[in-house]
Structure 1
Amino acid sequence: MSNFLPTLQQNSSNNFQGDENNLQKTIKPQRGFKWNSKQPQKQQHPAISSLNTPTHNNSSNSSNKDIIDFNYTPSHQLPYLNNRNFNNNSNVPKLAQVSSHKDLKKLVETTLNSDSVLEQAIKLPKGENINEWFAVHTVDFYNHINMLYGCVTEFCSYDTCPKMIATNEYEYLWNINGVPKSVSAPDYVKYLMQWCQKIFDNEKIFPTDSNVPFPSNFEKNYIKPMLKRLFRVYAHIYCHHFNEIYEMNLQVLLNTSFRHFCCFTKYFKLLSNDDYGPLLELVNELS
């Protein structure tokens, strides 16, 4: 990931107008939508090394590190699309359970690291609604990014990250009262997560009843803008907090989650090369 694209300032605009009073912590049981509504939690971590990069690391440094278990099991791998009534759990398999880092590593390596498995994980199941497929994946990405960012909040502060940037050439702005403004990385992520959750909580956009259709502008007005902005959190983590991720032994999990995101957005053409910005080279390599 050595050569980045030319200078470009990315502006983030919020096109969704919602009622602040309707912001609720919700679980969508009918369609299988489930997201983590908690704010990212700070974690305690060992000293940070500066010797590693997102695509190359020194394996000799990975022993005897503090381990944070993170079960990467996308909800869409469950066959709920054919069993939407979750009141009957007999047909719904349990998520894979891990009790140690060894189990976790094995789980990750046998899920999305295989090209054939990943291809099946992102392809639209025959006869299913593509908007529902977009919705489920977007909620999954929201959850994974929220958890990954929660692991670096100790190091991502107003002092360390006063601007939401990837490389110095890419600053991501947030639309405040109709005006794109520079904000700190913690504020950007906070605004983004709140904005996404307001969309998830809107029954007219993300209906819980499987008999209620998604809006006709669902992909263009909601899925693409959300994925575009969620990608920026990946970009910030890779460019500014990968060493912390590595020291926590979460680099495989970050790469797995990001590879899933890249393959999905590339396969369905949900983001452009400009949207991938400073990580375009890594995106092309992973997808």
Structure 2
Amino acid sequence: MSAIKDLLRGRKDQTFRPKKKFEDGSGHSSLHKYAKASLKAGLDFSELVKLPPGEDKNDWMAVHVVDFFNRVNLIYGVISEYCTVTSCPKMSGGAKFEYFWADETNKKPVALPAPEYMNNLMDWIESKINNVKEFPTTTNVPFPKHFPALCKKILTRLNRVFIHVYIHHFEPIVSLGSEAHVNQCYKHFVYFVTEFQLVDYKEFEPLAKVTDQLCPRRIAMLKDNK
């Protein structure tokens, strides 16, 4: 992702959110470093996403949720100036798909312009990953029972950001020469969420052809396991 980082260097106004980090010395920090080292080593994505021997699945999900949150923030920061109320009056994934916003405070789903949806989404995810009761930062604090469901909800919504970027804003990504880096990030995301069944098959429908080209047979795993 260095090319995207280079684009944002010195352009802090386009960094959508500050990076969430794990405390040094925590079990999560060690797992995060392991995952990053494996990615840099160029391992096959199907092997990269597998749970390391002896590690806790919730810990593995936690470090990936935070990592994907940071990466999606970075990607959206690159194209945020092109995603406006005028250009994107709906949070959509093409003509057939529109995403409505709801959370614990506003339980009735509402239609929002894409930039407002994005702001609400990132605020909501930050509130979750910064809440130690829902997202423990050390291995001696147990994960809540609903943690896998929370991860699934976060990752499902981040998938919708990928969909919106690919369908509505990929031209700026290409013009900036960053398509290979976005593709790599999306491939990592798809391999991870399909490995642990964290995004439903139907959620990939708007971007099914692109996803199948980048990650052959991965989303089919979700259909096979329905």
Classify the TM-score, shorter chain.
0.7 to 0.9
Aligned amino acid, residue 141 of structure 1: F
Paired position in structure 2 for 1:120: 47
Cα offsets for 1:185-215 (capped at 9, x unmatched): 1111111111001001111111122111111
Aligned to 1:199: 128
Aligned pair partner of 1:211 in 131, 140, 153: 140
Cα pair 1:262 1:286 within 8 Å, conserved: no
- Report the TM-score, using the length of structure 2 for normalisation: 0.78
Distance 1:273 1:196 in 2: 22
Measure the CA separation in 1 of the matches of 2:34 and 2:190: 23
CA gap 1:256/1:26 in 2 versus in 1, 3 angstroms: closer
Give the whole-Å Cα distance in 2 for the aligned partners of 1:197 and 1:264.
21
Structure with greater proportional helix content: 2
Separation in structure 2 between the aligned mates of residue 117 and residue 166 of structure 1, nearest angstrom: 29
Tell whether the 8 Å contact from 2:68 to 2:189 is kept in structure 1 after alignment: yes
Hey, what's the Cα distance between the residues in 2 that align with 1:26 and 1:227?
16
User: Is the CA contact (8 Å cut-off) linking 2:19 and 2:70 kept in structure 1?
Assistant: no
1:238-261 CA deviation, whole Å, 9 max, x = no partner?
Answer: 001000000000100110000001
CA-CA distance at 1:280 after TM superposition: 1.9
Shift of 1:144: 0.5
- Say whether 1:190 aligns with 2:190: no
Deviation, 1:183, is: 0.4
SS of 2:79's equivalent in the other structure is coil
Match of 1:133 in 2: 60
Q: C-alpha root-mean-square deviation of aligned residues, in Å?
A: 2.4
Aligned pair in 2 of structure 1 residues 226, 147: CA closer, same or farther (>3 Å)? same
| Paired positions, count | 193
* Kept after mapping to 2: 8 A contact 1:174/1:182: yes
* Aligned partner letter, 1:156: C
What is the TM-score of this pair, normalised by structure 1? 0.62
Aligned counterparts, 1:1-287, within 5 A: 27-29=21-23, 30-32=26-28, 78-79=33-34, 112=42, 116-175=43-102, 177-220=106-149, 222-287=150-215
Deviations 1:90-134 (A, max 9, x none): xxxxx89xxxxxxxxxxx9x755xxx4323320100010001101
Q: Where in structure 2 are there 5+ consecutive unaligned residues?
A: 1-17, 216-226
* Larger relative contact order (CA 8 Å, sep ≥ 6): 1
Amino acid paired to 1:214: F
Equivalent residues of 2:28, 2:139 under 8 A apart = no
**Structure-2 separation of matches of 1:79 and 1:155:** 35
Structure 1 segments unaligned to the other structure (5+ residues): 1-23, 34-74, 81-94, 97-107
Does structure 2 conserve the Cα–Cα contact (< 8 Å) formed by 1:164 and 1:184?
A: yes
Secondary structure (helix, strand or coil) at the match of 2:51 reads coil
Distance change in 2, residues 1:215/1:273 (3 Å) = same
- Which amino acid is the alignment partner of residue 79 of structure 1? Y
Contact 1:131 1:214 in 2 (8 A): yes
Q: Distance in 2 between matches of 1:26 and 1:152?
A: 20
Separation in 2, partners of 1:159, 1:200: 31
CA distance in 1, matches of 2:178, 2:41: 16
